[in-house]
Amino acid sequence: MKPAIYLASLFVLFSSQISSGQAQGLSLDTPSLSKLEAGFLAQNNPSLKQRVETSLADQPLGERKSIQKAFLLSAILPGAGEYYMGSKTRMLIFGGIEVLSWTGYLTYHHKGKVKEKAFRKFADEHWSLDDYLNYVNEEFLDGTNWHYDRDTTPEEWDSIQTYLPPSFIHDVIDARKHDRQQYYEMIGKYYAWQFGAGWRDSEYDTLDGWYRNENAEHYEDMRDLSNKFLKRAKWGIGAALVNRVLSAFDAALLAKSHNKRADRFSGFSLRAEVIDYYGEPTPQLIFTKRF
């Protein structure tokens, strides 16, 4: 008889509960039980001296995740949405790309700015604004009512251009006052057509214009290297933005896939109990499905 009792105590009970919103419970601390389960316990354990319920999972089956939350977390910090979804591997991948992208940006931006400071200093030492202005005045404005100097306004420059060659289209005075980046670009980029006279020891040919001298060549190499570094820094920013978008959508898709699986098991619950069966603590496994 006793073996039969133990066999009965180890019986795995599957029951279905039909609920319209709230279930009816048989105890103060435990979830509601189906009629079949209640009848089994009442028949085999009238006293019900002890009942201990232990969850078999940290989260109940069928729990949904917020797609919007997963998306926003990764949009703010790549990998955060994946961590919210429980995927540490994906978190490390997107988080690692984010770190590398910003590291690349900061590294190349610093290098570019260092080179920019260096080539500007070099230009200030080897290109003379006064030499350039003297050249323009002596070659093209001598005998006119115009004089090109540091106080020339953009409106005056428009009038002066009437006396200058067609290639002289850049107002270096206005750029020096209001756009230093443009100023340092034009004295190197357009020196063969217009600004060669400002480079010390430059040579001029009536057919080819100003020859590149050693100083001008070195200046252009320094400026090109600075621009190259700054462009790479922009790639780092671009990579970080792309990574952010991809991580956000990846986290959202993970949440969507998770919710599909959760919906499939919605209404199921599984729990383990230890009951007092005629004075003997007895384990019991209960599976419940709600409709």
Q: How does pLDDT run across 123-137, given as a tens digit for each residue?
A: 999 999 999 999 999
Kindly tell me the sign of the dihedral angle through the C-alpha atoms of 196, 202, 206, 208: negative
Spatial separation of the C-alpha atoms in residues 198 and 191, rounded to whole Å: 8
- State the residue for tokens 């279930």: 23
Spatial separation of the C-alpha atoms in residues 110 and 232, rounded to whole Å: 11
Predicted confidence at residue 167, as pLDDT, reads 85
pTM above 0.75, yes or no: no
Predicted confidence at residue 132, as pLDDT, reads 92
Predicted confidence at residue 288, as pLDDT, reads 60
Low pLDDT (below 70) residues in the chain: 1-62, 204-212, 263-291
Helix, coil or strand: residue 213: coil
Tokens at 241, concatenated: 């933005």
State pLDDT tens for residues 81-117: 999 999 999 999 999 999 999 999 999 999 999 999 9
Ramachandran angles phi, psi of 258, nearest 5°: -60, -40
| Cβ atoms 211, 205 nearer than 8 A | yes
What residue ranges do the domains of the chain occupy?
2-61+267-290, 69-250
| Cβ atoms 34, 271 nearer than 8 A | no
